[in-house]
Amino acid sequence: MGISRSEALDCLRSDDLLGIGMEADALRRSLHPQGIVTYQCVHEIDVSAAGTSIPAPAHALRIRCADLTRLDMVADLVRCARGASDFQWLEVSVPAEAANDSRIRDAIAHWAACGSNSISVDVGWRGDYARSAAASLVVHRTAHALGMRTAVGIPFGGGESDMERLDVLDAVRELQEETCGFMALAPVAIDAPAARELDGATAVERLKMLAVARMYVDNIDHVRAPQAGAGLKVLQTGLRFGADDAELLQPQAGTTEQDLRRVIRDAGLTPVERDGAYTTMFLS
């Protein structure tokens, strides 16, 4: 059902944004004919933040560990979170550089034993694009080998070429064929430096990358819409460019769960809150 590499390249270079979106939407409808858009509200905390505290009860918690010197602190926070609140899903986020840390496999296994359900890899990649992509997938592969399923973020908008973007999508598709460990794929625009905000990915780039990812990596069931931070209109349009899922980070300034549900309904779709494993729906 997917498209070839040459077709994907043509799409990335095409000016027919609406046509690309319609093709991706047709694939979304064939994969998810119920007209449902799942979503999850995720609370994020940073392991390095002074006085880190566990938020009020919620379905999902993500513990970020950007500083690899603090890996040993993660297990304590995971145990604390499991003891303090009834989180349905608990995830640890690490940078791609974790692939070069000899402790990462044992650390992921230890976090799982303490109650972590999954890991994610921070897609704010630095340095060489292809090398960072490969490092990120090493971490995902490690988690898959330990029995964890993950959602993979695909960064773009950092000056990489269309061919480099497709190389990363190829690697993701190949790893999925090998492990079947990816639950979802999320194209994520790399943030521009604060002083150069206009150099960041445009709405057109976000939607085109989303549609191409949906059509090219057709062996991953779910694709997430652009982050709410890109604007709710972009997120809403993404639901007609191949996305069937959304994630709302909390606290997200100016955006609430009701806002997210409204834009999903306004797109002609039905919002349904899910768990982290895409297996349980919380009808409300």
| pTM given for the model | 0.91
Contacts of residue 79, Cβ cutoff 8 Å, sequence gap at least 6? 114, 115
Residue 268 lies in a domain: no
Average pLDDT of adjacent 10-residue blocks, the chain of 284 residues? 92 96 96 94 83 66 91 90 80 94 96 95 76 93 97 90 95 97 93 47 91 97 84 92 92 80 95 89 64
Residue 151 lies in a domain: yes
Residue 20 in tokens: 């690309």
| Coil/strand/helix, residue 223 | strand
Predicted confidence at residue 178, as pLDDT, reads 98
Residue 234 lies in a domain: no
- Sheet containing strand 222-223, strands side by side: 150-156, 182-189, 222-223
Residue 103 lies in a domain: yes
Residue 12 lies in a domain: yes
φ, ψ for residue 184, nearest 5 deg: -155, 160
Predicted confidence at residue 126, as pLDDT, reads 61
Predicted confidence at residue 203, as pLDDT, reads 87
Predicted confidence at residue 27, as pLDDT, reads 96
Instruction: Give the 3-state DSSP-derived string for 158-209, with helices as H, strands as E and coil as C.
Output: CCCCHHHHHHHHHHHHHHHHHHCCEEEEEEEECCCCHHHHHHCCCHHHHHHH
Predicted confidence at residue 193, as pLDDT, reads 44
Provide the domain count of the chain: 1
Residue 180 lies in a domain: yes
Residue 182 lies in a domain: yes
Predicted confidence at residue 196, as pLDDT, reads 39
Residue 61 domain boundaries: 5-32+46-221
Predicted confidence at residue 231, as pLDDT, reads 80
| CATH number for the domain harbouring residue 137 | 3.20.20.70
Residue 260 lies in a domain: no
